Amino acid sequence: MAAPPTSRPVEAAAVVTRPREDSDVAGLGRWRAGAFAAPALVLVAIFLVFPALWTLYLGLLDYSLGGTTAQSPQYVGLRNFSDALSDPLFTKALYLTLLYVGFSAVLGQNILGFLLAWYFRTAPGWVRVIVNVLVLLAWILPGSVVAFLWQALLDRNNGTLNEILHTTGTAWTIDHPMIVIIIFNIWRGTAFSMLLYSAALSTVPSSHLEVARLAGARPWQQLRDVVLPTIRRHVLTNTLLITLWTFNDFTPFLITGGGPDNESQTLPVFIYKTALLGKQQLGYGSAFSLLLLVANLIIAVIYIRFLRGSKR
Amino acid sequence: MRPRVGAIVACATAATLLLAGCVSGKKTKTDPTKNTSAKNVSLTISANDIVGGKNAAEADWITKDVIPGFVAMEKAKGVTAKVSFVGAGVDDEKYKTKLELNLRTGKASDVFAADGIWLGELATAGYVKPLSQVVGNAATSWDGWAQISNTVQQNLTYQGQLYGVPNGTDGRVIYFNKKLFAQAGLPADWQPKSWDDILAAGQKLKKVSGVNPIQIDAGTPMGEATTAQGFLPLLAGTGQPLFDATSKKWQGATPQVTAVLDFYRKIYQGGLGDPKLQQDQAGRDQSFAEFSKGKIGMLVEGDYFWRSIICPDKSTTACNTTAMPDRNTTVGYALIPAEKPGSGVNGQDFVSVSGGTGWYLSPDTKYPQQAWELLSYMGSLAAQTQLSKAQVRISARDDVNKTTLGNDPLLTFIADKVLPITVYRPSDENYVAVSVAIQQATADVVAGKSPASAAKTYQNSLEKAVGGSAHVQTG
Amino acid sequence: MSGIDPVVRQTLSRIGVYVGVCVATVFFALPLLWLVLTPFSKHPSYRATLNGVSLDNFDKLFHNPQLWRSLRNSIYLAGGTAILVIVLAALASYALSRVRIPGRDQLLYALLLLSSIVTGTAAMVPIFLMLYQLNLLDKQFAVVLVLSGGLLPAAVFMLKDFVDSIPRSYEESARVFGASPSQILRHIVLPLIRPGMATVGVWALVQVWGNFLIPFILLSDEKKYPAAVVMYTFYDTGGQPNFALISTFALVYSVPVVVLYLIVNKRYGFSFQGGIKG
């Protein structure tokens, strides 16, 4: 009743679960920890680190899969990088990628995934199953099939969307390419955020929520004061991962092909088209990959700062 | 422990540099006399076909006709041959990538299929070698060459040397809808003699409501189709080839190229074509559907369109929803005219562009002579006739065409009238990059830019693609 | 907000939730219409309509020689990778969470960034050449290893969060009772991070299930192709997409993953509420 709680009675309870500085409570010891981590690290070293470094090294060559440069690639130093950076389409692609990632992933998938996960806690079983299956299907179908799905939906003359909205003749992918691929990516990738947040929410002790509810906190306050602090690191992990993945995602190519006149050409699509279609200039493509990596690194650093700043 | 992370990085980098030596291609030594008298031979054939999927007819031909036939033929000579087929059935880009990876490591099949336009790339990379080098005399003195015209042989020739046996070829024509033509007051036996004739017909069709007069492929979503079906036939009509083999120069922003782009402008900025169709990712498929529904007046395509898109067979493995049951009476076809009579390459009045695939030999094959026997068997009269019977198409061999194309008016038309006047795309390693520049030029015009500015952008991209302005002619 | 009658507010918010869920459901379902209608259509096209109902497409699909074989291959690759990733990531994330190795965080982030290179097309040549040198081409377990390597950094990243949020008090108590670290891992930690492992498992499975490039590049025997690769071969004889086979196959292809997800959801579920087990 009456006045909403201005204090935060539940925060004290939440603090207990926040871990102290990393401590070896199980008595693992350096060596055993090393042994536990070793299999993963070895696998990663061989099958990930090595090819990745090799790929980056290719960025320094004018290496291609066919043609004379396949037989004897020359060391070209930083020329691939300067070529890439001086290409006017590069900056445009970078800008479009930031839009794409920001709206479809950081905002779209994140928020929608969380809302769905939050809703599922109290939703009736059959609703949960149906929505789960739909969201999941959007995620697991292969890219080629998804391209057909969206072609059927957005086709100018025969598309489902135009039939429903009675707007036959509207060429969605040509007139509004960025909006289309942003919505497309939200549709495509929300499943992962939904999955991760469901798991994350299940780690929130219901006792804390009970306490908050009894203290008169309304749902959005429970959310703010109990849930979000508890799953803070999950939120940041999810955001970091989906940012990284969306940054490298070239599925929009299947829908708009880079858009009419490069209007929806995000960086991964740009890389795919210039370096990997036709005569595959892998050296150029690798240089791009490194630039993409640098962009991701900058974003990762921003996130890490955010994470460290939140450890009060 | 900084050192630990640093140690890992150092090891990885060292190993990388060590193995980086493997980045460059291997140098193969071919030896035509290897294993010539072997009694036990095992060979593999690979193609971008798969039983039950893409190009199933060819896959079946290989597994059911070629392999048993060849094995029997070898047995009669006392040689036990074991031949297996490695299928793929994915889209051509991916097949090509895998092929190149395999060739680079020497693990490619002994006999493999590849498109003629890949030859430049493969040859300059050292992935394939001339037949005379891999096989020797047996290849150059094959009697099948007499049945394959010189122009068709060009498709698999690089710098004057033959690298494989052509399998099939095709040709491009203008398809038109006779019913729509009747409505527009155009004759059913229409044959344009110049570009102006095409535009005039387009203007008449424009008056028929709900009709898209002309569809000539343009833009980047259609990929190579834009270049091969759209730009290049038009360019051939202006008299100069795209790539001059003697001067080794590509056409840049020449008057001819600008004229082609201007023709595009007249169509797509003049209301004679649908610009949005050229910008849609699925535009080519949509154009096929529209033609099959009688919404497009004229469409420039290859015989592939006739055989596999608008054929009368409605089953899902044939032409499905784009089938035209009345194709033979409703759809007419005409030669592509030069810009003006006599202005085409070689002074021709009519032009066309052709492509095709062929069968190549891997230079690393363990059994060069036997692989050649297999190759020539696949290109023999008997085998090629079997293939044409399984799936009617234009073979590289004239004798096969004479006996198998009788029933199909268009294919006979192409074999008789189009093949003699056609040109093939340059098998240069830079062709693909040039094609992309061409596609972009047409895309610019479709988007509203002027032909002059599109040509200028094209020239810049061209110079980047072929390594400098020395290889580009502008005048 | 305090002026509105609580009952009205409740009703309004409930209506809002219902509307929201309906909108979301339609949003996800609408594009899927083609997938649901086309397999049952007599003349499948790229339009989402029913051109006469028939089950012919399923008949054709089930007679296709590649169907069951490719699904088996997919199960082997995806299942194998998922299990490998869960096991290795669980071990590694526990170790990395509890023991402070200097440079740990930076290493993880670096590995995460590198994993985005290796899953791209630019890395396919180094991967191919490397496996060629190791003589591991055309071997399915090699594909599992390559895919696992690419997925591990993100998996460890995700699992570490779950391990980090386990109260240390549980492990301390277990230590007091004389449990060894492996026992602690098995009996206390693993059950508590089950939702995390389920997430990583489903995610890894989906990534591998839909991966075309790596299996295609590394396998040459078409009998070893997983479903994702086979999907790309469904063209008709002329090279046009065979909508009948593609749509029907896509439906059949999705079923194992969806079923698995629902099972995992039910058993290891995302509805676990923390607490000490006996």
Q: Which of A46-60, B16-30, B63-77 has the lowest mean pLDDT?
A: B16-30
Interchain contact, A155 vs C109, CB within 8 Å: no
State what percent of residues in chain B have pLDDT above 70: 94
> Alpha helices of chain C — where are they, by DSSP H?
6-37, 56-63, 66-98, 104-118, 124-133, 140-164, 168-176, 181-184, 190-192, 194-209, 213-218, 227-231, 243-267
Predicted confidence (pLDDT) at residue A73 exceeds the cutoff of 90: no
Pick the CATH number of B172-353+428-473 from 3.20.20.30, 3.40.190.10, 3.40.50.300, 3.30.43.10: 3.40.190.10
Predicted confidence (pLDDT) at residue A3 exceeds the cutoff of 80: no
pLDDT tens digits in sequence order for chain C, 278 residues long: 556 678 888 888 889 999 999 999 999 999 999 998 888 888 888 778 777 788 888 888 888 777 889 999 999 999 999 999 999 999 999 888 888 777 888 888 889 888 888 887 778 888 998 999 899 999 999 999 999 999 999 999 999 989 888 888 888 888 888 878 778 778 888 888 888 999 999 999 999 999 998 999 899 888 899 999 988 888 766 667 888 888 899 999 999 999 988 888 887 655 544 443 32
| Chains in contact with C, counting 3 or more C-beta pairs less than 8 Å apart as contact | A, B
pLDDT at B15: 60
Interchain contact, B126 vs A156, CB within 8 Å: no
pLDDT digits (tens, 9 = 90+) for B397-427: 999 999 999 889 999 999 999 998 999 998 8
DSSP B178-224: HHHHHHHT--TT----SHHHHHHHHHHHHTSTT-EEEE---SSTTTH
Interchain contact, A277 vs B121, CB within 8 Å: no
Predicted confidence (pLDDT) at residue B330 exceeds the cutoff of 70: yes
Instruction: Among A58, A68, A260, select the one facing B125 at the smallest CB separation.
Output: A68
Instruction: Among C51, C221, C237, select the one facing B391 at the smallest CB separation.
Output: C237
Q: Is the separation of the CB atoms in B65 and B374 below 8 Å?
A: no
Predicted confidence (pLDDT) at residue A6 exceeds the cutoff of 50: no
Residues 344-383 of chain B whose Cβ lies under 8 A from any Cβ of chain C? none
In angstroms, the separation between the Cα of residue C144 and the nearest Cα of chain A is 10
- Rounded Cα–Cα distance for residues A153 and C46 (Å): 9
Instruction: Among A16, A25, A292, select the one facing C175 at the smallest CB separation.
Output: A25
Residues 151-170 of chain A whose Cβ lies under 8 A from any Cβ of chain C? 151-153, 155, 158-161
pLDDT digits (tens, 9 = 90+) for B224-249: 999 999 999 999 999 989 998 888 89
- Rounded Cα–Cα distance for residues A113 and A106 (Å): 11
Interchain contact, C45 vs B56, CB within 8 Å: no
Predicted confidence (pLDDT) at residue A8 exceeds the cutoff of 50: no
- Interchain CB contact of C260 with A (< 8 Å): no
pLDDT at C2: 55
Residues 139-198 of chain C whose Cβ lies under 8 A from any Cβ of chain A? 145-146, 148-150, 152-154, 156-158, 161-162, 164-165, 167-168, 171-172, 174-175, 181, 184-185, 195-196, 198
Burial A100-134 (b: 16+ CB within 10 A, else e): bbebbbbebbbebbbbbbbbbeebeeeebeebbbb
pLDDT digits (tens, 9 = 90+) for B271-283: 999 999 999 988 9
Residue B21 banded pLDDT, cuts 50, 70, 90: low
Q: Which residues of C touch A293 (CB under 8 A)?
A: 113-114, 116-117
Q: Tell me, what DSSP letter sits at residue A104? A: I
Average pLDDT for residues A245-259, to the nearest whole number?
88
Query: What domains sit in chain C, N to C, each tagged with a CATH number?
Result: 6-54 (no CATH), 66-267 (1.10.3720.10)
Q: Which residues of C touch A276 (CB under 8 A)?
A: 121-122
pLDDT at B338: 95
- Rounded Cα–Cα distance for residues C204 and C79 (Å): 9
Domain A86-309 in CATH 1.10.3720.10? The answer is yes
Q: Which residues of C touch A134 (CB under 8 A)?
A: 25, 28-29, 32
Architecture of the domain defined by B40-166+356-424 = 3-Layer(aba) Sandwich (3.40)
pLDDT at B132: 92
Mean pLDDT (chain B, rounded): 89
Is this prediction's pTM over 0.95? Answer: no
Neighbours of C258 (CB within 10 A): 16
Q: Which residues of A touch C261 (CB under 8 A)?
A: 132, 136
pLDDT at B7: 57
Average pLDDT for residues A21-47, to the nearest whole number?
79
- Interchain CB contact of A147 with C (< 8 Å): no
Domain ranges of chain A: 86-309
What is the complex's ipTM, to 2 decimals? 0.88
Contacts of A90 (CB under 8 A, 6+ apart): A84, A267, A270
Instruction: Among B25, B276, B433, select the one facing A70 at the smallest CB separation.
Output: B25
Structure-token match 């120069």, residue found? B249
Instruction: Among B90, B94, B318, select the one facing C237 at the smallest CB separation.
Output: B318
Interchain contact, B316 vs C65, CB within 8 Å: no
Domain ranges of chain B: 40-166+356-424, 172-353+428-473
- Rounded Cα–Cα distance for residues B318 and A174 (Å): 30
The secondary structure element, H or E, covering residue B424 is strand B422-424
pLDDT digits (tens, 9 = 90+) for C136-164: 999 999 999 999 999 999 999 999 989 88
pLDDT digits (tens, 9 = 90+) for C34-51: 998 888 888 888 778 777
Residue among A32, A247, A297 at smallest CA distance from C112: A297
